[in-house]
Amino acid sequence: MALFGGSRDISLFNTISKELINDIIQTEIAYYKFTLEHTKVNVYGEAPQKNYYEPIKIASLIDRSDQTWTSDEFGPDVNQNITFTFLRKEFINLNLFSDVGDLILFRNNFYEVDGRIENQLAFGKDPDYALSTETSDFGGNFSITLNTHLSRVEKLSLVPLKGGKYPTTVKSQGGEANKLEY
For the segment 92-111, what is each residue's pLDDT rounded down to a tens digit? 888 888 988 899 989 888 89
pTM of the entire predicted model: 0.72
Answer whether residue 41 shows pLDDT above 50: yes
Answer whether residue 132 shows pLDDT above 80: no
Question: 5-14 — which CB contacts under 8 Å span 24+ positions?
Answer: 5/122, 5/123, 5/125, 5/138, 5/139, 5/140, 6/137, 6/138, 7/137, 7/138, 9/122, 9/123, 10/122, 10/139, 10/140, 13/122, 13/140, 13/142, 14/87, 14/89, 14/140, 14/142
Give the residue with greater pLDDT, 16 vs 122: 16
Strand partners, 54: none
How many angstroms separate the Cα of 17 from the Cα of each of 26, 82, 177? Answer: 12, 21, 36
Answer whether residue 73 shows pLDDT above 90: no
Sign of CA dihedral 93, 98, 144, 125: positive
Residue 145's pLDDT is 93
Residue 115's pLDDT is 94
Sign of CA dihedral 107, 160, 164, 149: negative
- Indicate the residue type of 101: G
